[in-house]
Each structure stands twice: as C-alpha cells, then as structure tokens.
Structure 1
Amino acid sequence: MELHKIKKPLDSINTILSHFPVSQPCLLEPGQTLPVKMRKEGSTRKIYFLLNGAMISSMGENEKKQNLGIVMSPSIIGLGQLAPAGAIAQHEAIAPCMVDSINVDDFLKVIEEKQLWPDVVNIMVTIINSLAARTATSGLQSAYEIIRTYLIYMDSETACTIKERYTVVKYMQTFSRLSRSIILKILSELKAGGFIEMEKGKLIRINRNLPDRF
C-alpha cells in the first residue's frame, strides 16, 4: 500500500474520544516527550489522548533512532501496549500539545463495555499499514524512488499540513537516511524538468506525474 493512500481513521478516533471526558490535561512544549509523569501516576501504563498539537514518533536511540511518522491531533497514543509484548514508540512534541491520559486497564474496561473494539482495531490497522508503507519506502533501492514516494505523500497529505510545516529537505532527512546533497541534486533536476514547484525550500505542488524512474 502506498503511504499517501492511507487515510487517518478520524471517525473511529472521535468515537473513542467521546467516551473519555478530559480529566487531567497536560501541556507539552516542543521538545518534551511522552510518557509524562503525572501526579500519582507512578509506573502505571497509560493510553494518551493527543487533543491538540503534533508529535513525532520514533523508536531506538542515538544513531539507531528511526523516525516513524508525525502524529497530529486528534490521536490515541499507546495502543501498542494492548498487545502482550507490544513495542513502545517514543513521542516528542514538535508543536505545543495538549495531552490527556488514562490507565490501560481503565481504558480497556470502557472499550469492552461500550463495544468499541472495531474502532480500536481500525486505528491499529491504520498504524500498521502506515508503518509497513514507510518500511517499504525505506527499503527501496534508489534514492529517487524514496524521494518520489515522499514527494507524493507531502503533496497529498492535508491533515498534517506537511508542506507548510517542513521544507522538503528537512522532511526527507527526518524520515529517510538520504544525504542532503543527494536530496538537493534530485530535487534540482525535478524542478528543472518542470515536475515540481518549490518556494523557499517548501513544496508548492507537483505539476505533473513524477516518472517511475529517473
């Protein structure tokens, strides 16, 4: 599945959020990360509700760190904990974020009582599809194929306002391991060929279909 064709399951997210009134909201400034140590939280596992703002999710540390994607409000974070050995991603605020949370056990109780499992599954399947699409992209053989995939995604994605938030080079470097020089070279050639339009480093639009190979 192509990354730009995966749609955020807003109906399922909003349905679940409607059953969890905001109880202990916390403001995160850019650079702060989850989990947030809240009063009386201790080491209790939490599901987080991103009510406002944007975060970047990643796994690993230092040179092994891999950025997975941008999470925009509204979102439900931490559903991986529902699996017996679910992998836990890190989440860092890239804009001011309003976050609420609930214990995993309390979350599960409401989900069971209100029969919300189809919505939970819908959200988790979308997350899995997004991760699979990004993994497939990072495994592509040529730098051009990676850049082409992300250009199409940036041009089509509206929920995250990616084109306004990121320069093309910064976005490519955030989610791929391509060098700045390679990215700039391919972008320059695409601009010269009239395929893309950019201003101050940001993507304005894709003017015509990008070739499969370059």
Structure 2
Amino acid sequence: MNTRMTAVKGAPTTSSLAFKPFADIEKLIAHLRPFTETVTINKGDVVHYYEGEIRQCWLLLSGSVALHRRGDGVVLNSESGPFIIGVSSQLCSEHLYARALEDVEVAPMPLALFNQIVANEGLWEPFSRLLIYTVSRIYEHCSQISQMSAYDIIRLQLVELLQEPDSVRLNTTAAAYIKSRTYLSRSGIMRILSELRTGGYIAMQRGVLIDIHHLPLKY
C-alpha cells in the first residue's frame, strides 16, 4: 500500500487527490458487486467502454488506470482502486479511453444497470461525491497545465507522482509520467529534473522518483 500521502515541503497540500471519497466509493461498490463478475486486465491493456453496443462502466477493485484523451493520448487523470470508471463521462465516452498502469482487477457492468441501481437504492449522495471528486481531479489537471510555467507544471506533477501507488511510481520514470500528462518537451522535462536532482531537491534512481526533499516555489 502507498503510504506517501504526506505533505511535501515547498509543495501544494490541497490536491483534490487528498479528498478522494473512499467511503462513498466503497458504499457504491458494495451495492453493485452482486451484479458483476471480477476480471483481470493486464498492464498496458485498454479498458473498453463498450461491449458490442452496450455502454459499460467498470468497478476498479485494485490496481491503477490512466484516463487518456483520444487523438493526442494526453493523460487527464489517473486513479487507483477503489474507483468506478465510466460513470462521470456518460455523454462523452467516445473522446476518452482508459489504460491499465499495472495488472488490475475490475468488475464490468452495463452503465444502464449502474444508473438503475443508483436510483433504486437511493445512492445519489455517494454518487454525487464521486462525480465531484472526478471532475475536480480533471479540472485541476487541465487548469494547472494551461496556466503555469514549465517548472510549476513539473513541480506539481512530481507531487502527484509521489502520491501514486508504489506499484506505479516505481515502474514509471518521472520524465515519462510528466510527458504523458503535459505538452512539455521531453528535453525540457529532463533538464529541469536533472537540475532538481543535482540541487538535492529530489532523489531519483534510474529516472524513477524516490523522494522529494524540498521543491522551491520558484526555480
């Protein structure tokens, strides 16, 4: 289990990731599990939103996935279980796809059935909290990369990376993680990471982020 959800000196501490509504997500999953079967999706495989013509959602029970935008493949968000994929993008799923960052356990179910169970069981409150969290995560990411300097973007992405499960963080280079989520050039990312490492601000091994010692507000 990842135990790195701690404040990083010199870094923002109000990321929406810290407010993930675990209890609400687990309550939803508890009501939905009797109608699903668990399957395993291998690392790198795409989680499909459709089975034939039937729109699906997915209970993410364990492991991590990344939400990509079609066309350029930019990562808009990444999530670890427990989570529910595909219920906050019911009207725009053709623009998005999810890919497993590691082997994951999921339980697919028709989206129409999900909506019916939420209505029948009066689960609107936990569902609304899940939606608020999901939208906040994507909005936070998009606003960050569109308004900040290259260093500010990298600084925030490093904090996000440190908070990822160890199974993801230790198998992903910092440069690849940041590149997949931003429009920054790889050379620019590598330059700033090298300077941060040389200055003793971060610890990395073979490109993998090990720890953050201190990230200055300006660099």
Q: TM-score, normalised by structure 1?
A: 0.84
Report the counterpart of residue 149 of structure 2 in structure 1: 142
Match of 2:37 among 7, 19, 24: 24
Report the counterpart of residue 119 of structure 2 in structure 1: 112
Per the TM alignment, residue 79 of structure 1 is displaced from its structure 2 partner at its CA by 0.8
Q: TM-score, normalised by structure 2?
A: 0.82
Per the TM alignment, residue 171 of structure 1 is displaced from its structure 2 partner at its CA by 0.8
Q: Structure 2 unaligned runs (5+)?
A: 1-11
Report the counterpart of residue 6 of structure 2 in structure 1: none
The secondary structure found in structure 1 opposite 2:61 is: strand
Report the counterpart of residue 11 of structure 1 in structure 2: 23
Contact 1:52–1:99, Cα closer than 8 Å, also in 2: yes
Report the counterpart of residue 212 of structure 1 in structure 2: 217
Report the counterpart of residue 70 of structure 1 in structure 2: 78
Query: Of the two structures, which has the highest relative contact order with CA contacts closer than 8 Å and spacing of 6 or more?
Result: 2
Per the TM alignment, residue 144 of structure 1 is displaced from its structure 2 partner at its CA by 0.8
Contact 2:42–2:104, Cα closer than 8 Å, also in 1: yes
Per the TM alignment, residue 161 of structure 1 is displaced from its structure 2 partner at its CA by 5.0
Match of 1:96 among 100, 103, 116: 103
Q: Structure 1 unaligned runs (5+)?
A: none
Letter in 1 for 2:204: M
Q: Rate the CA distance shift 1:5–1:20 in 2: closer, same or farther, 3 A.
A: closer
CA RMSD, aligned part only? 2.3
Q: Rate the CA distance shift 1:124–1:2 in 2: closer, same or farther, 3 A.
A: farther
Deviations 1:114-133 (A, max 9, x none): 21111111111111111111
Per the TM alignment, residue 87 of structure 1 is displaced from its structure 2 partner at its CA by 4.3
Contact 1:72–1:160, Cα closer than 8 Å, also in 2: no
Contact 2:16–2:136, Cα closer than 8 Å, also in 1: no
For the residues of structure 2 that align with 1:146 and 1:108, how far apart are their CA atoms? 36
For the residues of structure 1 that align with 2:177 and 2:14, how far apart are their CA atoms? 15
After superposing on structure 2, the runs of 4+ consecutive aligned residues of structure 1 that deviate more than 6 Å are none
Contact 2:64–2:168, Cα closer than 8 Å, also in 1: no
Per the TM alignment, residue 134 of structure 1 is displaced from its structure 2 partner at its CA by 0.6
Q: Rate the CA distance shift 1:170–1:158 in 2: closer, same or farther, 3 A.
A: closer
Match of 1:79 among 73, 84, 87: 87
Per the TM alignment, residue 18 of structure 1 is displaced from its structure 2 partner at its CA by 0.6
Match of 1:203 among 191, 209, 219: 209
Larger Rg: 1
Report the counterpart of residue 189 of structure 1 in structure 2: 195
Per the TM alignment, residue 6 of structure 1 is displaced from its structure 2 partner at its CA by 2.7
The secondary structure found in structure 2 opposite 1:12 is: helix
Match of 2:178 among 172, 179, 202: 172
Q: Rate the CA distance shift 1:141–1:104 in 2: closer, same or farther, 3 A.
A: closer
For the residues of structure 2 that align with 1:47 and 1:28, how far apart are their CA atoms? 14
Contact 1:3–1:134, Cα closer than 8 Å, also in 2: no
Deviations 1:11-46 (A, max 9, x none): 111101111225333322223222276xxx531222
